[in-house]
Amino acid sequence: MERIRYMSTRGAETQIEASYAILRGIAKDGGLYVPDRIPAIDMDINDMVNMSYQEIAYQVMKDYLSDFTENELKNCIRKAYDDKFDTQCIVPVVKKGDVTYLELFHGSTIAFKDMALSILPHLMTTSMKKQGIDQEVVILTATSGDTGKAALAGFADVEGTRIIVFYPKDGVSPIQEKQMVTQKGDNTYVVSIDGNFDDAQSGVKDIFTNIEFRKTLGENGFRFSSANSINIGRLLPQVVYYFYGYAQMLKQEEIKAGEAINIVVPTGNFGNILAAYYAKKMGLPVNRLICASNDNKVLYDFFRTGIYNRKRDFKLTISPSMDILISSNLERLLYEMTEFSGAQTEELMSQLNKHGEYAIKNMNEFSCFYGNYATEEETYAAIKEVYDERGYVIDPHTAVGYCVYKKFREETADERKVLLASTASPYKFTKSVMKAIDPKYNEIDDLALIDELKATSGVPVPNAIKEILEEESRHQRDCETENMQNVVASILNIEL
């Protein structure tokens, strides 16, 4: 079979090897790398029932990473999915009532980003050797809360790399911020910005596409890459857990072989649900992909109207990892919507940049997506409902997914079995979770509520939380959005 290669969604690059795409992160024309085709899974999904997570990961990713040898890819998988996860199965699949939860938060930073960011550093260092790179790779990342810590933990003290994370000062939970600013590692740098996540993300993209700055970097022995889900090496590992979740539902006799399920994904940047879409295109039996938004409901409006419009107030919510108005990974789907036209995709993204919106006409071809959203009040109510009825504690992002799932059922009367991506541990959002369960906790500090959550949930305090309680802040940089490039130059000791 001909090897899969990659191309830019904006048309300037084609026939790119996976290792090069992973190293670069974003294409030279500002587009995102996509595979030239989606491979069909080449084994019967029934055969995955008794396979380990690591074994399924190899089967799902091997065709995408066609310039990796079998030993290279299996070595990356082995190093990624090991005892840094608090359960041997890596991803517990838990049925509560009529919902099966895909618990993606058992890694070292207790959020779903660990699933991809545990393997990305190994994919990247392997790619460096394959491409003969002797420059130091600078990982430049914007975060709305979870990517930052997971990327920092993944790349900490990885030889030949440095990582710089920008986050919105008032746009993450206290525990998310504490996790980042206490991160160890001589190659880790954390910077808060006076803006929101979209400001941070746009600033990072501007740095990536600044040709002169990249040239200066190269002259000083550095090259940029990304740990955001704009990096194809972040996106592909996320496809794996949807196959694993389906196999576990088969094993638990929740579904029959070949039975189509619905998948619910709380999403902001669109990467996690795009991975589910890739899984569907590979042959996973999926009926609808339910895109769950919070009050920043730009994706809901897009799937209802075909118009993507970021010209609206940015809202800070209790599900901060979804507080996003520019969903970067949607560009990969947009490329398909324009029948793989780089020129049309570039024009639409230009319209978004200049005018704040664009419109798509052929939405019917993507009717497998369903969009809806949950308000703050509905999110709190969902946490309480699941706890009261099932004794199961979920975080605010998972609660958004649960609420939208209920709306989907009411609107469509679709009773297919559902797999809900549970994207973070409730321990990352103690105050919001405990306040939802009982308003009496509203005046108590986030960190002080850890023991209360333990008693309520019956779930032990994760090591990721224990570790930060006694740690002092190691990172105290902050900057205005327009000064992000200068901060990067200062960290790298480069004169502009």
Mean pLDDT, residues 40-59: 96
pLDDT above 80 (res 462): yes
Which band of pLDDT confidence, cut at 50, 70 and 90, is reported for residue 338?
very high
β-partners of residue 418 are 99, 262
Closest CA to 296 of 426, 394, 196, 173: 196
Q: Is 256 a catalytic residue?
A: no
Structure tokens at 19: 């290792």
Q: Are strands 136-142 and 93-96 parallel, antiparallel or unpaired?
A: unpaired
Which band of pLDDT confidence, cut at 50, 70 and 90, is reported for residue 240?
very high
Output the pLDDT for position 490.
96
Output the pLDDT for position 289.
98
Domain span holding position 365: 93-111+233-465
Residue 87's CB: how many other CB atoms inside 10 A? Answer: 10
Which band of pLDDT confidence, cut at 50, 70 and 90, is reported for residue 444?
very high
Phi, psi of 425 (to 5 degrees): -75, 140
Which band of pLDDT confidence, cut at 50, 70 and 90, is reported for residue 209?
confident
pLDDT above 80 (res 1): no
Higher local confidence (pLDDT), 467 or 243? 243
- Is residue 80, in this structure, part of any structural domain at all? no
- Is residue 321, in this structure, part of any structural domain at all? yes
Query: Residue 199: CB partners within 8 Å, gap ≥ 6?
Result: 168, 193, 481
Percent of the chain with pLDDT over 70: 100
- Is residue 317, in this structure, part of any structural domain at all? yes
- Is residue 296, in this structure, part of any structural domain at all? yes
Output the pLDDT for position 270.
95
CATH of the domain at 282: 3.40.50.1100
Chain segment 67-112, per-residue pLDDT in tens: 999 999 999 999 999 999 999 999 999 999 999 999 999 999 999 9
Mean pLDDT, residues 36-59: 96
Mean pLDDT, residues 329-342: 96
Structure tokens at 451: 């023991």
Output the pLDDT for position 229.
83
Output the pLDDT for position 146.
79
Chain segment 263-273, per-residue pLDDT in tens: 999 999 999 99
- Is residue 332, in this structure, part of any structural domain at all? yes
- Is residue 381, in this structure, part of any structural domain at all? yes
Output the pLDDT for position 363.
85
Chain segment 116-171, per-residue pLDDT in tens: 999 999 999 999 999 998 899 999 999 887 788 989 999 999 888 999 999 999 88
- Is residue 390, in this structure, part of any structural domain at all? yes
Output the pLDDT for position 174.
87
Active-site residue among 62, 113, 178, 384?
113
CA dist., res. 425 & res. 349, Å (int): 34
Across the chain, what does the average pLDDT equal?
94
Output the pLDDT for position 241.
98
Mean pLDDT, residues 423-432: 95
Output the pLDDT for position 82.
96
Output the pLDDT for position 147.
85
Mean pLDDT, residues 359-380: 94
Output the pLDDT for position 145.
74
- Is residue 23, in this structure, part of any structural domain at all? no
Query: Sign of dihedral through CA atoms 351, 353, 359, 360?
Result: positive
Per the structure, the count of domains in the chain is: 1
Output the pLDDT for position 263.
98
